[in-house]
Each structure stands twice: as C-alpha cells, then as structure tokens.
C-alpha cells in the first residue's frame, strides 16, 4: 500500500457510514446501502482530486460485508481490519463519536499503510458455509438448553408424558434436530460441490479426532487453507500458541497462551484433542508423556491441540491422507 496518496477511514454502523479523508481532513456521513456507497465514491473522487486512494474500515460482520461487496464490484482497493487492532493503536481516547471513529480508522490505515494488504471478499460458497456453520452452532446450543429444561421438568413431574410443557419441549427439540440435520446436509453438499474443499475435507477426515464439524470449521476459518502461511500462525489465531512472558530479571513466567483468540475454534480443538487422545494411540502416549513430565492436564491437552493443527496443515500441504506408521500400545 506504499504508493497511495490518500486513505479514507470508514466507521460502519447499521444504518449509516461515516467517511473521513485523512490527508484532506474532510468528513461526511452516508447511508449504509447501495445509494450511500455510490455517493461515497463520488464524494471521495471529488475531495481527493483523483489521487490514488484506498479505503479502510472495521470488520463488523454483515454491516461491513455489504460495503466490501460493493467496493470489490467497483474494483476499488480496501482493507477490512480487526476492530481490536485499530482500537489499540489509537492510544487513550476519551471521546467517542462516529466522526472521531472514522478519523481514527483513517489515521491507523495511514500510519500502517506499508504493512497493510488489500482485502478481498470470500467466495459465495465460502460465505454460505460460514453462515450455515454459525446457524448450526446456534441451533445446537438452543437445543441443549431445551433438553436441559426438559430433563429438570421430568424430575419434578410424576407423569411427564402427559404434561403440556414437556410435550411442547419435545416437539421443539425434534423440530430443531431436523433443522440441524437439514443444515448439515446442505454443508455436505457445499463441500462436495467444490473440488478443492472436498479434497481438503477428505484429507482432514483421515485424522483421528477431527470429525465433520471440526473439519468444516477448519476449512472455513483457514479460507480453505489459503489464509495462513503455517500451522503456527493458525495456532496463534486460535489462541493455542504459547508466548513468553519475561521482563528484566525479576519476571520470568512459563510460556502461556494469550487470551486473545478465536474461542469457538479453540473449544472445538479441545474436544477434538480429547477424542484424539482416546482413539489415537500415538497421541495418547504423547499426552501421558507430557503429564509424566509434570505438566497439568490443560497444558498437555494444549500440546495435543497443536499436534492436531500441525497434522492438519501437513496433510493439506502434502496432499495425502494421514497414515499411522507404527501402532503404539498404550
């Protein structure tokens, strides 16, 4: 992004977007729709005198996705950045307005323009995969709550089969279960229709501990294994990579995982690790060895998590399924 002479910081909200040209020091608000996007581009062209410009805004999910889709359709360069990065680069800020936020975003983009890389919108299939996985997760959590409520009611009632509340809960649970099955079927169709995703899914499925959901989540979060250069980068993204904590001679703690990370992916990897320990003799021996070294259970499980991530990236890079070379006896 070195050759750009201007940057436009955009604060995206549900109904409006606030734009700020950093060098020109001008601000204007627009509606967060197609009409607003067209007006934004015309305004930027007028204010910047047709110099090379790129746009920067925070990733706010669906609200920012509409803007990203329009900018990409117009072949305009943009950077969709993490809100946390922008917030931490802003220093101490006591005031908060949409105008100020857009200015801070523009300032961030201008100061770090040499390090930023242009963003791009994911493919239609990839976006649909993300929506389906998120909806499935929400439905599964809702169903777990209903099952818990039903279980508690059965303890209190002498005849739960004739109770109206229990009957209603059972119907809701059955309906949500059918919806989950329908979503999983559509996810499977998406994976199968895409040659690259289907190949990577088959490779991931060869790893013990990685099932349908974990494999699909790995494909989505890694951009079908194009987003991260190495398994260590993805481990850092998930929050499973240990980092040093030292200062001078008085502070020297053992390496710990940072609290920042994708909690959903970290949780799924934890469950995958527990399953792998049970069904993979090599990882089970590895886990027991870590415990024998004096490490606590969660730290040992984290070691297994990183082993799984490393194996996942290895089979994808190699293009061949994982093969157990030696059968270990636990």
Query: Which residues have a Cβ under 8 Å from the Cβ of 93 and sit 6 or more positions away?
Result: 100, 104
pLDDT (mean) for 110-119: 91
Residues comprising the chain, all counted = 330
What pTM did the predictor assign?
Answer: 0.83
Fold category of 6-111 in CATH: Nucleotidyltransferase; domain 5 (3.30.420)
Check residue 43 and give its pLDDT: 95
Cα(197)–Cα(122) distance, integer angstroms: 14
Check residue 2 and give its pLDDT: 66
Cα(330)–Cα(311) distance, integer angstroms: 21
Q: Are strands 78-81 and 53-58 parallel, antiparallel or unpaired?
A: parallel
Check residue 88 and give its pLDDT: 84
Average pLDDT, the chain: 89
Q: Which two tokens stand for residue 113?
A: 């323009």
Question: Which DSSP string do the residues of 199-264 spell out, in sequence order?
Answer: HHHHHHHTSTT--HHHHHHHHHHTTTTTS-SSHHHHHHHHT-SEEEEEETTTEEEEEEE-S-S-HH
**Above pLDDT 70, what percent of the chain?**
92
Helix-helix angle 195-205:297-318, to 10 degrees: 140
Angle among Cα 28, 29, 33 to the nearest 5 degrees reads: 135
Query: Which residues have a Cβ under 8 Å from the Cβ of 242 and sit 6 or more positions away?
Result: 255, 256, 257, 302
Of 254, 328, 238, 235, the closest CA to residue 296 belongs to 254
Q: Which two tokens stand for residue 321?
A: 């399924």
Check residue 249 and give its pLDDT: 64
Q: Using one digit for the tens of pLDDT, what is the confidence trace for 271-291? A: 999 999 999 999 999 999 999
Q: Using one digit for the tens of pLDDT, what is the confidence trace for 34-54? A: 999 999 999 999 998 878 899
Please, which pLDDT band fits residue 330 given cuts at 50, 70 and 90?
very low
Check residue 261 and give its pLDDT: 73
Range from 83-92, 104-113, 155-164 that averages highest in pLDDT: 104-113
Check residue 262 and give its pLDDT: 79
SS3 category, 60: coil
Q: Is-contact 220 131, C-beta < 8 A?
A: no
Distances, alpha carbon 262 to alpha carbons 16, 86, 217, 221, 258, in Å: 28, 18, 11, 9, 11
Cα(59)–Cα(11) distance, integer angstroms: 10
Of 252 and 147, the one with more pLDDT:
147
Residue-range domain boundaries for the chain: 6-111, 124-193, 219-318
Least confident piece of the model among 205-209, 229-233, 239-243, 294-298? 239-243
Check residue 86 and give its pLDDT: 87
Q: Using one digit for the tens of pLDDT, what is the confidence trace for 50-100? A: 788 999 999 888 889 999 999 999 999 999 998 888 888 888 777 889 899
Of 208 and 330, the one with more pLDDT:
208
Q: Using one digit for the tens of pLDDT, what is the confidence trace for 213-268? A: 999 999 999 999 998 999 999 999 898 887 666 666 666 666 666 666 778 899 99
* φ/ψ bin of 232: left (φ > 0), alpha (ψ from -120 to 50), beta (otherwise): alpha
Distances, alpha carbon 60 to alpha carbons 14, 81, 134, 168, 258, in Å: 9, 9, 15, 37, 23
Q: Using one digit for the tens of pLDDT, what is the confidence trace for 11-28? A: 999 999 999 999 999 999
Which residues face 252 on adjacent strands?
246
Check residue 242 and give its pLDDT: 75
Q: Using one digit for the tens of pLDDT, what is the confidence trace for 170-201? A: 999 999 999 999 999 999 999 999 999 999 99
Q: Is-contact 207 318, C-beta < 8 A?
A: no
> Residue 112: phi, psi to the nearest 5?
-110, 25
């Amino acid at each position: 992004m070195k050759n750009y002479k201007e940057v436009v910081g955009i604060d995206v909200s549900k109904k409006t977007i606030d734009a700020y040209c950093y060098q020109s020091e001008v601000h204007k608000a627009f509606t967060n729709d197609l009409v607003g996007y067209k007006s934004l581009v015309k305004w930027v062209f007028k204010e910047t005198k047709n110099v090379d410009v790129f746009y920067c805004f925070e990733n706010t999910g669906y609200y920012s996705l509409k803007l990203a889709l329009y900018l990409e359709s117009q072949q305009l360069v943009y950077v969709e950045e993490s809100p946390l990065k922008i917030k931490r680069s802003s220093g101490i800020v006591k005031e908060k307005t949409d105008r100020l936020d857009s200015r801070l975003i523009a300032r961030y983009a201008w100061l770090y323009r040499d390090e930023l890389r242009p963003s791009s919108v994911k493919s239609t299939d990839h976006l649909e995969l993300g929506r389906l996985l998120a909806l499935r997760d929400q439905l599964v959590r809702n169903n777990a709550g209903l099952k818990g409520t039903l279980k508690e009611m059965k303890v209190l009632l002498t005849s739960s089969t004739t109770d109206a509340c229990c009957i209603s809960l059972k119907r809701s649970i059955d309906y949500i279960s059918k919806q989950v099955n329908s979503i999983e079927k559509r996810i499977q169709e998406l994976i199968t229709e895409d040659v690259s995703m289907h190949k990577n899914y088959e490779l991931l499925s060869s790893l013990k501990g990685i099932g349908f959901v974990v494999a699909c989540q790995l494909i989505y979060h890694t951009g079908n294994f194009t987003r991260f250069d190495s398994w260590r980068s993805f481990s850092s993204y998930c929050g499973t990579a240990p980092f040093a904590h030292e200062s001078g001679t008085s502070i020297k703690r053992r390496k710990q995982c940072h609290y920042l990370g994708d909690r959903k992916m970290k949780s799924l990897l934890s469950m995958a690790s527990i399953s792998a320990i049970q069904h993979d003799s090599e990882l089970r021996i590895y886990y027991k060895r870590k415990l024998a070294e004096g490490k606590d259970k969660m730290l040992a499980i984290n070691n297994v998590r990183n082993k799984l991530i490393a194996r996942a990236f290895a089979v994808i890079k190699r293009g061949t399924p994982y093969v157990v070379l030696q059968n270990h006896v636990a």
